[in-house]
Structure 1
Amino acid sequence: MYSTLMPLPATFEFPVPSFFNVFHNPTDSLKLERQLMKVPFEIFSEIASQRIIEKQTENVADSVAHATKKNMSEADALSRLGSLLSRLEELQMKIMENNSRQEMELEIIMKRLNHLQVLQFGGKEIEAKWKQMHVDRILVDYMLKSDCFDAALKLAEGSDIQELVDVKIFLDAKRVIQGLRNRNCSEALAWCAENESKLDNSQDSFEFKLRVQEIVEFLRNHQLEDAVNYAQEYLVPWGDQYKEDVEKVMVAFAFDNCAKCDSCKMLFDLNKWDALIGKFKMEFMRLHGITQEPSLIYHLTAGFICLKTLGCLDRECPIEDPLFEDDIRQLGARLPFWPHRRTKLVCYITKELMTLYNPPLILPNGYAYSKKALNEMASLNNGEVTCPRTGFRCNLRELSVAHINRF
């Protein structure tokens, strides 16, 4: 299932970390990994909740206590014991199932923790692999939040990162979204029942909106009796909390053609289904600790801010500048400029700024490092320098200077 991908958002105000230089500054990268660990912990906490099991155990204990106070025949006592035994066996199966699910979630948590540890312990090959996995994770997250579930699943399987992305829970959400697109609230109401204790019903209840939509569909199909019965059972309990909204729904019962009534038009607008899908996504992500915006948006935004300097507007803007192209420049049109007029170059070896007095020297393989770093390296190796990224070796005399203007 494919849909329109999310556009770039308006300006974000946040510090711009060095996203891909993770091995030199792991702390910055870990700030973006909250969702990676938050989601499995939320699922584990939900499974580990003992409220349901404790409630069922108390019910069984109450039944036993109640039975002991009655004078029952042997047949009735055996029947009662058989019923209690069946309930206990069901409870045991539930506990075993929960334990199995807990173990699975703990494995996922451990795998994600091990994945993050690579930020601090790893060589060049592991670093390159981690970066590729990081990019794949960002793309999968973007696809999931754009409802491209099939594409996300294929990418996760092809990259072998199923345990590092949240495809499984999004596939559970897919059923609800598909049901709402088919104008059916059954799956969404079932989801509300499963997460009743976690849903926020204080101000803008998702379940209440679903109940109203159910009544609207009954009225749209001229099923007045069904609408009345449904309202009495499911809408009346919300009367005190949503008095005005309930009154608006009640008005719809007074008209034969509700869709033409000015006060009821909004209720019968088919765009209400899209609003329900948006509300479900918001509640779903909040419950699981998932960010509303795809992480790709934050990475692209930060990247554009770093590239977007005042120099991009100059006539002499070099063709090598990514923002030289109008199409690319338009993508970052709403973002602020980087405070420096020109992008600063930092030496990979010394981490010092490269300037007119310490210019970058370009190796034959295309990599560039500061003059200071390469001169020090050459003085220790009989005039030879080695590229720290590729291992390429050459003589210092083979290097060319990259001239820097107006830093």
Structure 2
Amino acid sequence: MMEIDPVPNGNANAETDGTTATSAAIAPPPARSSRLSQLTESLKLEHQLLRVPFEHYKKMIRAKHRAFEKEVSSVVSGVGDLTDSDWSKDDTVLHLTSLVSRLQGLKRKLEEGNNAENLQAQRCRARIDHLDSADAENFSEWNNTKLKRILVDYMLRMSYFDTATKLTESSNIQDLVDIDIFQEAKKVIDALENKEVAPALAWCADNKSRLKKSKSKFEFQLRLQEFIELVRADSADSYKHAIQYARKYLAPWGSTHMKELQHVVATLAFRSNTECIKYKSLFEPKQWDFLVLQFKQEFCKLYGMTLEPLLNIYLQAGLSALKTPFCYEEDCTKEDPLSQESFRNLALPLPYSKQHHSKLVCYISRELMDTENPPQVLPNGYVYSTKALKEMAEKNGGKITCPRTGYVCNYSDLVKAFIS
């Protein structure tokens, strides 16, 4: 913590990096080295920008590989059938024609897959070029593009697709955002909100290996919910179907999730109208909300996205960097964003900024006040740097005018402040 002595009325209006107080000063425009440092730190947060199209690219390659293996295996098997059986000439020609048609269909699918892969490869290239183009000269423009990307990311997560699309097109950043990925997710989310699990189960099947690798329980939770819906129907046929469903789809999970499995299967005895809280909660609508939330988390993990929108992360980081105990005091300077009640409420759950050192910046010259350029206190309590006040006195015949209050005094009336 920093102290300034002496100060006539306690109004030491000099700016620190967050541990004391003022309306005093705005830091000087960053130098080239400072901008390069900011740029380097900014690039460290761009993991998601490159990871998403790369993961989508890998997913397409895997899907194309599976389709190719399946079709080729089927065609080879079909040719083997011809050699092992006594087919007529016409039947053989018909069968071979069918196999050729399948191969032609496979060729079309592979070409479509190649086009989709090229699109993702183009996005990867565009994003690498975008990051590579950042330098100190165009830092402001590059940051403006980054802000638009962050806003689009937030809109897509909140399902504002039309607005996100318009901002993307007007800013020409189509290759830097992931509208198609989020549209894929929205189909599953809409279905779950309508109490349908089929699209979510299809998504799990498409990403089975990745979900298994991450030890995801999402598919199991979907199966449990389908079982619960069968029990909810409350009829002899529905109970029969529920038992058959449990044997087919839930039993394979018994080795790893037996406790949860037993809990849910017990609803066959307790029924949907039970008053037992332990089982009644399984029939509540909030279970579908839980599935939506779980899908969003699995979706983000699958593509290497942050679980929180980027906008939230940057806002929290910024507010936390500004937050100090002084921000909540009555005499907090109005130039501090956290002097506003709305910002204070947003920053309330966030940790205080970790400040190792404090510094004073002169309101007039925007230069650092230290032992080489010590602070001077005016009789009205405002603090400015010695260098700035000397220059002002030389130009005005030894007179000092406070730039914030208009107070006029002699240079000899100033009192030196000491930083400790």
TM-score, normalised via structure 2 length: 0.73
Residue 39 of structure 1 corresponds to which residue in structure 2?
Answer: 52
The answer on whether the counterparts of 2:361 and 2:368 sit within 8 Å (CA) in structure 1 is yes
Alpha-carbon distance in 1 for matches of 2:255, 2:357: 59
Residue 179 of structure 2 corresponds to which residue in structure 1?
Answer: 167
Q: 2:75 aligns with which of 57, 60, 65?
A: 60
Question: What is the 5 A alignment of 1:22-33?
Answer: 23-33=36-46
SS of residue in 1 equivalent to 2:334: coil
2:233 equivalent to 1:221: yes
The answer on whether the counterparts of 1:305 and 1:336 sit within 8 Å (CA) in structure 2 is yes
Alpha-carbon distance in 2 for matches of 1:108, 1:203: 29
Deviation at 1:164, TM superposition (A): 0.9
Question: What is the 5 A alignment of 1:141-290?
Answer: 141-200=153-212, 203-222=215-234, 223-290=238-305
Q: Per the alignment, do residues 79 and 238 of structure 1 end up closer, same or farther by CA in structure 2, a change over 3 Å counting?
A: farther
Alpha-carbon distance in 2 for matches of 1:60, 1:215: 38
The answer on whether the counterparts of 1:311 and 1:342 sit within 8 Å (CA) in structure 2 is no
Alpha-carbon distance in 2 for matches of 1:233, 1:220: 19
Deviation at 1:256, TM superposition (A): 4.8
2:337 equivalent to 1:325: no
Alpha-carbon distance in 1 for matches of 2:195, 2:274: 17
Give 1:159's aligned amino acid.
Answer: S
Alpha-carbon distance in 1 for matches of 2:417, 2:69: 72
Residue 120 of structure 2 corresponds to which residue in structure 1?
Answer: 105
Deviation at 1:202, TM superposition (A): 7.3
Q: Per the alignment, do residues 26 and 213 of structure 1 end up closer, same or farther by CA in structure 2, a change over 3 Å counting?
A: same
2:148 equivalent to 1:136: yes
The answer on whether the counterparts of 2:270 and 2:279 sit within 8 Å (CA) in structure 1 is no
CA RMSD of aligned residues (A): 3.6
Q: Per the alignment, do residues 111 and 201 of structure 1 end up closer, same or farther by CA in structure 2, a change over 3 Å counting?
A: closer
Alpha-carbon distance in 2 for matches of 1:371, 1:166: 53
Deviation at 1:270, TM superposition (A): 1.5
2:348 equivalent to 1:336: no
Q: Per the alignment, do residues 264 and 319 of structure 1 end up closer, same or farther by CA in structure 2, a change over 3 Å counting?
A: closer
Cα distance per residue 1:22-58 (max 9 Å; x no partner): 5454321110111001101111111223243234323
Alpha-carbon distance in 2 for matches of 1:344, 1:302: 23
Give 1:179's aligned amino acid.
Answer: A
Structure 1 stretches lacking a partner, 5+ long: 1-17, 361-369, 374-398
Cα distance per residue 1:73-109 (max 9 Å; x no partner): 2233123212211221121111101110111111111
Residue 7 of structure 1 corresponds to which residue in structure 2?
Answer: none
Deviation at 1:359, TM superposition (A): 8.4
Cα distance per residue 1:339-398 (max 9 Å; x no partner): 268566599x9x9845474489xxxxxxxxx9999xxxxxxxxxxxxxxxxxxxxxxxxx
SS of residue in 1 equivalent to 2:210: coil
Residue 99 of structure 2 corresponds to which residue in structure 1?
Answer: 84
Q: Per the alignment, do residues 215 and 195 of structure 1 end up closer, same or farther by CA in structure 2, a change over 3 Å counting?
A: same
Deviation at 1:175, TM superposition (A): 0.8
Alpha-carbon distance in 1 for matches of 2:37, 2:174: 27
Percent identity between the aligned chains? 38
- Report which structure shows greater RCO (CA 8 Å, sep ≥6): 2
Alpha-carbon distance in 2 for matches of 1:346, 1:291: 39
Cα distance per residue 1:104-125 (max 9 Å; x no partner): 11111121112112213x74xx
Give 2:175's aligned amino acid.
Answer: E
SS of residue in 2 equivalent to 1:72: coil
Q: Per the alignment, do residues 255 and 339 of structure 1 end up closer, same or farther by CA in structure 2, a change over 3 Å counting?
A: closer
User: Quick check: 66-75 or 253-262, which moved more?
Assistant: 253-262
Give 2:355's aligned amino acid.
Answer: P
User: Quick check: 259-268 or 321-330, which moved more?
Assistant: 259-268
